[in-house]
Chains A and B, each alone.
Chain A
Amino acid sequence: MNTQASNAASPERGSPPSDVARLATCDSFIIGSDDRILVTGATGFVGPRVVGCLLDRGFRNLVCFARPSSDLARIEASSNCRPLGARVEVLKGNLLSREDCEAACKDVAVIFHLAAGTGEKSFPDAFMNSAVTTRNLLDASLHCARLRRFVLVSSFAVYSNRQKSRLLEESCPIEEHPELRGEAYCFAKVRQEQILTEYGRSFGVPYVVVRPGSVYGPGKDGIIGRVGIGAFGIFVHLGGSNTIPLTYVDNCAEAIVLAGLVKGVESEVFNVVDDDLPSSREFLRLYKENVGHFKAVYLPHAASHALCYLWEKYSQWSNGQLPPIFTRRRWYAYWRKTRYSNQKLKARLGWTPKMPTAEGLRQSFQDRGRGRTYA
């Protein structure tokens, strides 16, 4: 493991500490401004924003865990604005190494665990980089007497979305047989959450689970699968009038940070979606207007459900000649008409989305630039 950067003694930039220090010592938080905080996945899309958000709130002792091959530009940008006296340490290592996990967890009070394997096609890869790494981190955290909370950043992907109501909230069931959805990410995330709750039950690890919807913002390309998918040069629009559960990257980071700090939310789960969510159709229209036009064909819900059913059956009949990537379980999870709620997040954590959706989309599209298509 390499310690890449230690900023305690270097000249600081950014705002003076008076206001933020007050925020950090807020009575409703479980830790003080000098307590050590670990952020894994710190060089990903959301991680640097979490680091930035913690610094904004006056926390001065951060450890960012990153793979040896990670690009540190984003995290350096976040920590450049650190307040006076703040220390941002970058540990380079691999969460598959128990020694690296032990080093990362040393003396930490809160762990924000954002690192995960996307492994779109490979179940073992996704599982190893999500579930095994989480288990290693949890094992290491058991040796950490100061640990006050373990925040796992999960995903909406864990929900089966087969509840009677159209409303998806935290109490909705998660996928019972994630191995049958044909989605490695879902399998890994469900198992990751199960490992966490098991450690909470067996070893008393204090934890909170955060399940963001689709995180978007400048720096993230492409159109999410809930809107549609590209196939043979044509974009198949599957979302139709469905609401898309977007959360702007800064809003999401804020929710994650609050989930790690606010008192009295142990063992809770929080869904993260913004207000004023667009429909899939509105999203696509705005995307085409702002980023670039492309040909899209709308597939009605009944047709997409039927196609998923046929694909699933053919996959079974042909012994996987076509892999079961389109299944009814997947259809329910991503393309069923669903409403989303952030009431619990607002009520229990005092979260409000600082970036309005309209402005967030505008900034996001602007970043992608004109003339590009969905690919």
Chain B
Amino acid sequence: MLKVAIVGCGKIADAHASHIQRMDGCEIVGVCDRESLMAKQLYERFRVKRYFTDPTELLSQARPHVVHITTPPESHFDIARLCLEHGCHVYVEKPFTLCAEQAQRLVDLAYEKELKLTVGHNDQFSHVARRMRALVETGYLGGPPVHMESYYGYDLGDPRYARSLLGDRGHWVRRLPGKLLHNLISHGIARIAEFLTSDAPHVIAYGFVSPLLKGINESEIVDELRVIICEEERTTAYFTFSSQMRPSIHEFRIYGPKNGLVLDQDHDILIQLRGEKLKSYADKFVPPVLFAKQHLENLIKNARLFLASDFHMDSGMKYLIESFYRSISENAAVPIPYGEILRTARIMDTIFGQLRVGWSQAHWAFPTHPAPPEINERCAAVHSRTILASDS
């Protein structure tokens, strides 16, 4: 029986607890939150054995094999390190850490202690994402990806919601290096990072504050982001984060030299894009029928999963947790390679570094007036620093 503990008893901890309780061969032996009432409410609702307010006490008294860290990101690194030092495997909610350097140190420590780590990029393990991965592995794309597009929408809703989220100047989101983006974009970046191979691809980022947020006097929180990612002039990717774009989509497109795939996360739909063209007017009439057939197949797959009670709203999390636990019990490979975790962290570091410098805004906002040389130099310096830091 795998003994599991959860540190951090906020909103996302509910999802972790409910998935863990649905799984065989594991039990939650303790939950922990520095706010005792929060720890107690999770303990009561999920009938957990014990609750704690100090992670060290949890580790020494409940003696879990695995710890899920579901605290705000600022504390991920310290708690994960503590857990590893106590001999526990660790599942860290996204974003993994505040920067790539912290991520690297955790990975090094996990290797040293012969323990396993993973990060909560559960979107990559939904049914539809797994179908896409299986197709890619069979060679459907016809070779390495040529280009990818990852869209991550986040609906801030009406201004009242934005005000409550962003009106608090002391909110922990504001203390993150990438602020709101830091808490949200790792899902979309990780989709791209999965199919890249180099440690630190080139990144060009442009971000700005949307008119919605400007309208409520917000000037610090960037909620519109466009990124170009390029790997050795072989594979490129666009990443789009938007709070204003409608529909607010979560979509991933991947194109190979032969075929392409479109993954629609919101509707659990996977569409195959055939590279071959049909002759003459057949190319106008046959593809719509083939697309309709694919949509129907997606419908049937989703209906079957629902009828089998295997179509929970965040089913990817359960699959990721199961895969992680299996990697522990069978000493097999972790579900998310460490290289991918580190690559995601490095890309995010570079994006936030560029946004801080502000070069992107100056350059993109006024394309007819190139950025002054000193700004370009500053950006280049930061960019190269980031890459050097990643390489080291």
> What residues of chain A have their CB less than 8 Å away from a CB belonging to chain B?
67-71, 94, 122-125, 127-128, 131-132, 135, 179, 187, 191, 195, 317-321
B residues in contact with A128, CB < 8 Å: 10, 35, 38
- Nearest A residue to B318 via CB reads A319
Q: Does B208 contact A (CB under 8 A)?
A: no
Q: How large is the interface on B (under 10, 10 to 19, 20 to 34, 35 or more residues)?
A: 20 to 34
Enumerate chain A residues within 8 angstroms of B163, measured Cβ to Cβ. Answer: 69, 71
Provide the bound-state CA to CA distance between A55 and B69, in Å. Answer: 49
CB of B169 within 8 A of chain A? yes
16 pairs of residues in contact across A and B, judged by CB atoms under 8 Å = A67-B167, A68-B167, A69-B166, A123-B45, A124-B13, A124-B41, A125-B10, A127-B37, A128-B10, A128-B35, A128-B38, A132-B37, A135-B37, A195-B37, A320-B312, A321-B312
B41–A319 touching, CB < 8 Å:
no
B216's nearest neighbour on chain A, judged by CB, is A69
Residues on A with C-beta less than 8 A from B170 are 94
The answer to whether B9 has its CB under 8 Å from any CB of chain A is yes
Interface mask (B165-181 → A, CB under 8 Å = 1, otherwise 0): 01111100000000000
Q: Which of A67, A124, A131, A195 contacts B14 (CB 8 A)?
A: A124
A191–B167 CB distance below 8 A? no
A131 to B10, CA, bound (A): 13
* Inter-chain contact B312/A67, CB cutoff 8 Å: no
Residue from A68, A319, A321 in contact with B306 in the complex, judged by beta carbons closer than 8 Å:
A321
Measured CB to CB, the nearest residue on chain A to B166 is: A69
Q: Are B309 and A317 in contact (CB under 8 A)?
A: yes
Docked Cα-Cα span, A123 to B18, in Å, equals 13
Chain A contacts for B279, CB-based, 8 A: none
* Docked complex Cα distance between A187 and B309 (Å): 27
When distances are taken between beta carbons in the complex, the residues of chain B under 8 Å from A318 are: 309
Known: A69-B166, A69-B168, A122-B11. A179 touches B37 (CB 8 A): no
User: Would you give the shortest CB distance from A261 to chain B, in whole angstroms?
Assistant: 30
Q: Which residue of B lies closest to A320 (CB)?
A: B18
Chain B residue numbers with a CB within 8 Å of A195 are: 37
B146 to chain A, nearest CB (A): 38
> In chain B, what residue has the closest Cβ to A131?
B37
Flag whether B57 is at the interface (Cβ < 8 A): no
Q: State whether A123 touches B35 (Cβ < 8 A).
A: no
CB distance from A25 to the nearest CB of B (A): 39
B322 to chain A, nearest CB (A): 13
Contacts of A321 in B (CB 8 A): 306, 309-312
Contact residue among A68, A69, A127 (Cβ-Cβ distance under 8 Å from B38)? A127
Residues of chain B with a CB closer than 8 A to A68's CB: 167-169
B135 to chain A, nearest CB (A): 26
Given A319-B309, A321-B311, residue A127 in contact with residue B41 (CB < 8 A): yes
Residues of B contacting A191 in the complex (Cβ-Cβ under 8 angstroms): 41
Most chain B CB neighbours (cut-off 10 Å) among A67, A69, A125: A69
- Say yes or no: B309 contacts A123, CB within 8 Å: no
B79 beta carbon closer than 8 Å to chain A: no
Closest 8 CB pairs of A and B: A69-B167, A318-B309, A69-B163, A179-B45, A319-B22, A122-B11, A124-B11, A127-B41
- CB atoms of A132 and B168 under 8 A apart: no
Minimum Cβ distance to chain A for residue B68 (Å): 15
Q: What residues of A have a CB within 8 angstroms of the CB of B18 in the complex? A: 320
A94 partner residues in chain B, CB cutoff 8 A: 168, 170
Across-interface contacts of B311 in A (CB, < 8 A): 321
- The B287-344 residues at the A interface (CB cut-off 8 A) are 306, 309-312
